[in-house]
Structure 1
Amino acid sequence: MPFPSRSPLSRSLLATTVLLSTVLLTTALPTAFGAVHAASAAPGCASSVPYVSGGGGYATYRIPAAVTTRRGTVLAFAEGRQAGAGDTGNIDVVLRRSTDGGCTWGPPRVVAAGNGDTRGNPAPVVDPRTGAVVLVTSYNGGGVTEAQIMRGEVAPRQGRRVFVQRSSDDGRHFTAPREITGAVKPRNWRWYATGPGHAVALTRGPHAGRLVVPADHSAAPPRGSPDTGREARYYGAHAIYSDDGGRTWHLGFVDDTYDGVDNANESALAQLPDGRLYLSARNQNGSSRGNRLDSYSRDGGETLDRPYAVQATLDDVPVVEGSVLQLPGRGAPLLFCAPSVPTARRAMALWRSTDGGRTFSRALTLSRRPAAYSDLVPVNPQTVGVLYETGASGPYERIEFRRLPVNGL
């Protein structure tokens, strides 16, 4: 579909990212876009910056998500926040495409326009049967907050809702958002967030071809409960899935312990070589000693093998979203990406696991600078990309794309 011409991002003449042909640990990054062109990748391209806050009519770009299409195009999604860095308000889902592995980026586009409301939490995935890009996003009215939604003070139409879109032309155009809230959100849930970060298409096992989207929610405290006013204890993770390329959707596993100890929140997932799903979640306001939780599913996301529990080998991670990616091949590691200072959003790093997520060890620190949300994406058999929030004085100044050689991980 044509993108809304009234969006500030669509009107702006933004520039292609200034390439960084420096070594991977370089921290002197550009602070603005350069001129738009379709240049080829520079030999040894290490890094680029598809989004710079303050450019293109948006005060802030946040919540990165990335996939590589069947044709090898890297799609970098984000939220374009018009009024500021806050999580609600007039927010669009935006996209830039790269046909050279993330070294240069095409013109920005609006995929889902907020039009005064909030559209975000992009969770893209490539349908393995057709090659179509399926994008699941979340919505709420632009004048309400997460706290109000969790307290049950918001009308359903202004509360959290879920939408799906589809692109059949390599991410150039997407269909209009189609609502699927009724299929995937129980009536007693209040908050709801897809991803953020890429979803997964299962490639082996009895559910091969299934699309699985990690998500989180909050439930209403039981009527008359003494916990009324302490809604944060009712956070939980869940998954939604589609077996027909994103046309119909179903609610999968639900983490509904709501005990305030392990509060699974923003989630990521990966399919392990044995076919199981590995699930990693932020521990939001939980009283347990640990900021990362994990679990497994052996039936394609329909149920959990065990309740979420603290992943003690990721104790260096603060309370923040994190990304996971299983590299292909026998003996290849499972990667996890997040900031690496327990008390601050700083020093984006990668961890690796060679035992299916039971334990992780630090593999690489990308930078010591402020950093927050991230998404891992396979660029090609030799390269992994990290799309992440970072900056010189704060973590939300830009979204960088870092290219890493697989053989170094």
Structure 2
Amino acid sequence: MPITPKLTRRHCLAGLIAAPAFAAAPEPSVKITVFQAGDDGYHTFRIPALLATRKGTLLAFAEGRKGGRSDSGDIDVVVKRSMDQGRTWSGIELVADHGDDTIGNPCPVQDSKTGRIFLPLTVNPGNVTERQMIDRTVPDRRTVFITSSDDDGLTWTILDEITSFTRKPEWTWYATGPGVGIQTHTGRLIIPCDHAVEGTRATLSHIIYSDDHGRTWQIGGSSDPGTNECQIVELRDGSLMLNMRNYHQQNRRAVSISRDGGTTWEPITHDAALVESVCQASLIARDNVLYFSNPASTKRERLTVRASKDQGKTWSAGQVVHNGPAAYSCLAPLKRDRIGCLYECGETSPYERIVFTSLPQSVLG
């Protein structure tokens, strides 16, 4: 558990009186490798997702890729747990294995009322690629599954297929997250997703949601074409913001707002402050402040975490956590006013390892 700083005390003639409390200097940021390529029988680990549970446990999810770095092949979903805010981590645990198939795109969310953690995932045959599904050179389409945990991520239920409720018949490619879902002030659980429509090559961001604490799921609204992997936050006024990977060749993140709980989305805009390399990014909200991480460059490098105190209108310069090759990331709120970041990085490639660090909110702006 985190150690609570002791108040300094001073003596005076009237007795022992507590001195005024001064803010302690923030703990330094430490970088810890959680998943290392080549460990535990996996060639590569990719697609990090980080969930801070209501009990204070950190769950670090990733895809364990057995045959190589490819997005297709024999891919499992694995997890490690931390009970001390990311200082130490458990051994690797298998969450989902679909034989030789690809199962991945972890995007966990926890119901604040029941404590149940939901982990939606997507599946396709290991010998089938995203491009083949989009181009319809194979009959396969991606399917959607969900598993859950009632013991803070120690054990997980058998995979339950929810494709018929969460994918339209004309959708071919499909991905949950990756990253994390949210629960709104109304109790709605929302998972950000993306898909491709048969007959086109365009991809679109969309959401799925549950209004009954995860018992059933349904499809929400979709964004404009040319968007992809996305993350979602609830803003101060109750509206939703979708922040999306963008294929409009402007090297800027795409943003859309929903004012009806995600049923419809406004036309996308491009955030000039959020430079991107056409890559996944992370976005979370905490105490009316937004936190965002991505490779802040026109290529996959310079993993940066920044903050916005005006609901995404402007962004701080933030903090560079890895200046070299870097790619996907996921943020989580930690104790003692810190933000955790789980991210892909390396010296010659972004996919050499997945690292955890935590940053004081004060240094992010």
**Taking structure 2 as the reference length, what is the TM-score of the superposition?**
0.89
1:319 counterpart letter in structure 2: V
SS at structure 1 position matched to 2:273: helix
2:75 counterpart letter in structure 1: I
8 Å CA contact 1:47–1:103 kept in 2: the answer is no
Q: How many angstroms does 1:106 deviate by?
A: 0.9
Q: How many angstroms does 1:381 deviate by?
A: 4.3
Do residues 171 (structure 1) and 153 (structure 2) align?
yes
Alignment of 1:358-369 (within 5 A): 358-369=313-324
SS at structure 2 position matched to 1:312: strand
Do residues 237 (structure 1) and 197 (structure 2) align?
no
Task: Give the percent of matched residue pairs that are identical in Structure 1 and Structure 2.
Answer: 41
Which region of structure 1 is more displaced relative to structure 2, 44-53 or 102-111? 44-53
Do residues 382 (structure 1) and 330 (structure 2) align?
no
Per-residue deviation, residues 164-196 of structure 1 (Å, max 9, x unmatched): 111000100000110111001111111101100
User: d(CA) in 1 for partners of 2:106 and 2:306?
Assistant: 24
Per-residue deviation, residues 226-252 of structure 1 (Å, max 9, x unmatched): xxxxx43x2111000011222200100
Question: Could you list the runs of 4 or more consecutive aligned residues of structure 1 that deviate by over 4 angstroms after TM superposition?
Answer: none
Alignment of 1:205-244 (within 5 A): 208-221=186-199, 231-232=200-201, 234-244=202-212
Q: Structure 1 unaligned runs (5+)?
A: 1-42, 222-230
1:377 counterpart letter in structure 2: A
Q: Counterpart in 1 of 2:3?
A: none
Instruction: Give 2:183's match in structure 1, choosing from 183, 201, 208.
Output: 201
User: d(CA) in 2 for partners of 1:248 and 1:353?
Assistant: 34
Do residues 309 (structure 1) and 269 (structure 2) align?
yes
Alignment of 1:250-289 (within 5 A): 250-255=218-223, 257-258=224-225, 263-284=226-247, 286-287=248-249, 289=250
Q: How many angstroms does 1:45 deviate by?
A: 6.2
Q: Counterpart in 1 of 2:96?
A: 112
Which region of structure 1 is more displaced relative to structure 2, 347-356 or 234-243? 347-356
Higher alpha-carbon Rg:
2
User: d(CA) in 2 for partners of 1:347 and 1:358?
Assistant: 22
8 Å CA contact 1:378–1:385 kept in 2: the answer is yes
1:376 counterpart letter in structure 2: L
Do residues 394 (structure 1) and 349 (structure 2) align?
yes
8 Å CA contact 2:322–2:345 kept in 1: the answer is no
2:196 counterpart letter in structure 1: S
8 Å CA contact 1:381–1:406 kept in 2: the answer is no
Q: Counterpart in 2 of 1:74?
A: 58
Q: Counterpart in 2 of 1:292?
A: 253
Alignment of 1:32-43 (within 5 A): none
Q: Structure 2 unaligned runs (5+)?
A: 1-26
Q: CA RMSD in A?
A: 1.4
User: d(CA) in 1 for partners of 2:345 and 2:251?
Assistant: 24
User: d(CA) in 2 for partners of 1:151 and 1:393?
Assistant: 32
Per-residue deviation, residues 378-405 of structure 1 (Å, max 9, x unmatched): 1224211000000111100000001111
Instruction: Give 2:215's match in structure 1, choosing from 231, 244, 247.
Output: 247
Q: Counterpart in 1 of 2:144?
A: 162
8 Å CA contact 1:280–1:295 kept in 2: the answer is yes
User: d(CA) in 2 for partners of 1:45 and 1:151?
Assistant: 45
2:94 counterpart letter in structure 1: V
Instruction: Give 1:99's match in structure 2, choosing from 75, 83, 105.
Output: 83
Q: How many angstroms does 1:159 deviate by?
A: 2.2
Change (3 A) 1:340 1:44: closer
Q: Counterpart in 2 of 1:192?
A: 174
Q: How many angstroms does 1:358 deviate by?
A: 2.6
Alignment of 1:285-364 (within 5 A): 286-287=248-249, 289-304=250-265, 306-314=266-274, 316-328=275-287, 332-342=288-298, 344-364=299-319
SS at structure 1 position matched to 2:284: strand
8 Å CA contact 1:197–1:323 kept in 2: the answer is yes
Q: How many angstroms does 1:44 deviate by?
A: 5.1
Per-residue deviation, residues 140-180 of structure 1 (Å, max 9, x unmatched): 1101000110012333xx42011111100010000011011
SS at structure 1 position matched to 2:362: helix
Greater share of strand residues, 1 or 2? Answer: 2
User: d(CA) in 2 for partners of 1:95 and 1:300?
Assistant: 31
SS at structure 1 position matched to 2:131: helix
User: d(CA) in 1 for partners of 2:272 and 2:221?
Assistant: 23
Per-residue deviation, residues 208-241 of structure 1 (Å, max 9, x unmatched): 21110001011012xxxxxxxxx43x21110000
Q: Counterpart in 2 of 1:90?
A: 74
